[in-house]
Amino acid sequence: MATNPKEITDRSFVAIKINGKNYFGNPNETILDVSKRNGIEIPHLCFKEGMRPDGNCRACMVEIEGERVLQPSCVRTISDGMVVNTNNDRVIHSQKLVLELLTSDVSDKIYKKDSELSDWAERLNIKANRFPTNVQEKHDLTHPAIAVIFLIQGMMVNNDHLRRGFMSWRVHMVVQFGIFLGFPLVVWGLLRLLPWDFSDTLQTGLLLLAVLPTTISTAVVYSGQSGGNTATALFNATLSNLVGILVVPLALLAMKVGTETGVNLDTTAFVKKICLLVILPFLVGQGFRWVGSRPEKYKAKGQIVCQLLILYILLATFHGSFQEGVFEDDKELPLIRLLGFLISLTLLVRLIVPLFAKSFQSEHRPAIFFCITEKTLATGLPMATALFGSGHPQLGMLVLPILLYHPIQLLVDGVIASRWNKK
C-alpha cells in the first residue's frame, strides 16, 4: 500500500515511484528508509538503525531511471519524481553477485548459518557459490605438538610384544573387532534407542569416541591386577593403537563425509593432515627402533612430554571453543544428558563384553574385557585436533565425550579390577 502523506512528519514531502507504485517521503530520507517503511525488501548488511550509512557492503544497490550506474539505497536520498527499481533483472543480478562474493570471503569455521548474510542469500535463492573461497587459514600452533606426540608413541611401541603375542590369534581377532566394530555398534544403537536429542557435532564426538583404540597403560595394569595375561593385553593395546591410526580417520570419513552434519571434513585436507601429523611421525619413531636405538630408558620422560603436550592441546582446544561461545548454548551442551549417555554406555559395554569373553581361557578374559571397554585420551585428543584443527569452533564439543568418558572408565574399571579375583 502506498504511504499516506499524512503519515510523513515533515509537511514538505516528495513523491517517488518504486517498482511502479507511488510513495511519499521526507526529502532527507533514503530510498532504503522509504522501502523499509512500505514493506519493500532490499538486501542490506552494513546498514544499522541509528548509525551513519556508508554503503560499504553494496548489497542494497537499486536502479534509478535516468542514471547509468546502480546506486546504494542506504545512502541515496529521495527526490521529487524519482523512479526506482529494486527487483528487475539487472538489480537482482547485482545483489546476488555481491552476496556471493561476500560469502566466498567468510570462513566456514567462524560462519554462523543464521547470520544476516545467509538470510539474504536464502531470500534471493542463492543455492551455491560460484566463487572459490579467499579465506587464508591461520597457522595451527597445535600441529607440532601432535606430531611430537605420535613421534614419541612410535618410538615407544615395542614390536617384540606384537611378535610374541601373535600366536593367540583368536583372542586378538575378538578384541580388535570389539574395539573397532563392537563398541561403535553399541554407541550407534544407544543413540538410536532413546531420544537423546544431541546436536550433530556432539553425535560426531560420540562416534569419534566409539572408534578410538584402547589405552595401553591402564588396560595392561588392570588386566594384571585382575590376574589376567598382561602379554595379551599389551599385544592388543599396542596393535589397536597401530591399527587405529588408519581406522579412526577412515571410519570418520565413512560416517561423515557426504552427509548433512554440523561437521564438515575436506577429504583431501583430511588425508593430508593424517599423513603428515600422525602416520609420518609414527613411522619416523618406529625408524629409530629399526636402526638399533632403544628408547625404553627414556619412556618415563617421553610420557611426561606427551602429557604436557596433551595438556597444551586441551587448553588450546577449549580456548578456541570458549571464544566462539560453543558452550553458551544450553541446546548445544546438554551436559546432564551427555553424562547419562556416557554412564549408560560405560555400564552397557561392560555387561556385553563378558558374554563374548567367557568362551576363552580365564587368563585372557581380563585382557579382552579391559582392551575393548577402554578408550584412549592420549591418542584421541591429538588425533581429533589433527583431523579437525584446533581452530575449529566446535572442537571443544567434539572432544568433550572423550574427556568425560576417560575419568568414568578409570573409576569403574578400577573398582572392577580390584574385585575381579574376589569373584
Question: What does the pLDDT look like over 169-200, one tens digit per residue?
Answer: 888 899 999 999 999 999 999 998 888 888 88
- The pLDDT, as a whole number, for residue 152 is 78
CA distance 394 to 329: 12
Q: Report the SS3 class of residue 35.
A: helix
For residues 62 and 85, the answer to whether their CB atoms sit within 8 Å is yes
Residue type, 254: A
Helix H or strand E segment including 72? strand 71-72
- The pLDDT, as a whole number, for residue 326 is 47
The C-alpha cell 614390536 sits at 159
Indicate the burial class of 323 (C-beta count within 10 angstroms; 0-12, 13-18, 19 or more).
exposed
- The pLDDT, as a whole number, for residue 346 is 94
pTM of this structure: 0.57
- The pLDDT, as a whole number, for residue 373 is 94
Q: Check the CA dihedral 176-201-311-309 and report its sign.
A: positive
Q: For the chain, list the domains and their CATH numbers.
A: 5-123 (3.10.20.740), 143-420 (1.20.1530.20)
- The pLDDT, as a whole number, for residue 261 is 41
For residues 357 and 368, the answer to whether their CB atoms sit within 8 Å is yes
Which three cell numbers, joined as nine digits, stand for 247? 581406522
> How far are the Cα atoms of 13, 277, 319, 320, 391 from residue 315, in angstroms, in the given order?
61, 19, 6, 9, 12
For residues 222 and 413, the answer to whether their CB atoms sit within 8 Å is yes
pLDDT in tens, 140-171: 667 787 788 778 767 766 666 555 555 678 88
- The pLDDT, as a whole number, for residue 327 is 52
Main-chain dihedrals φ then ψ at residue 64, nearest 5 degrees:
-115, 120
pLDDT along the chain (423 residues), means of 10: 49 83 89 89 81 80 90 89 90 86 66 68 72 57 75 69 65 92 93 86 88 82 80 81 82 57 52 71 78 66 74 67 52 78 94 90 89 86 75 76 88 87 62
Long-range contacts of 193-196 (CB under 8 A, 24+ apart): 196/334, 196/337, 196/341
- The pLDDT, as a whole number, for residue 259 is 37
- The pLDDT, as a whole number, for residue 258 is 35
Which three cell numbers, joined as nine digits, stand for 389? 584443527
CA distance 306 to 379: 10
- The pLDDT, as a whole number, for residue 220 is 75
Q: Which of 252, 151, 158, 262 lies closest to 201 in space, CA to CA?
A: 262
- The pLDDT, as a whole number, for residue 274 is 63
Q: How many residues does the chain have?
A: 423
- The pLDDT, as a whole number, for residue 197 is 84
Which three cell numbers, joined as nine digits, stand for 194? 532413546
Angle between helices 230-256 and 216-225 (to 10 degrees): 140
CA distance 79 to 359: 90
CA distance 368 to 118: 51
Q: Which of 18, 8, 417 lies closest to 218 in space, CA to CA?
A: 417
According to DSSP, the residues that pair with 44 across neighbouring strands are none
- The pLDDT, as a whole number, for residue 49 is 76
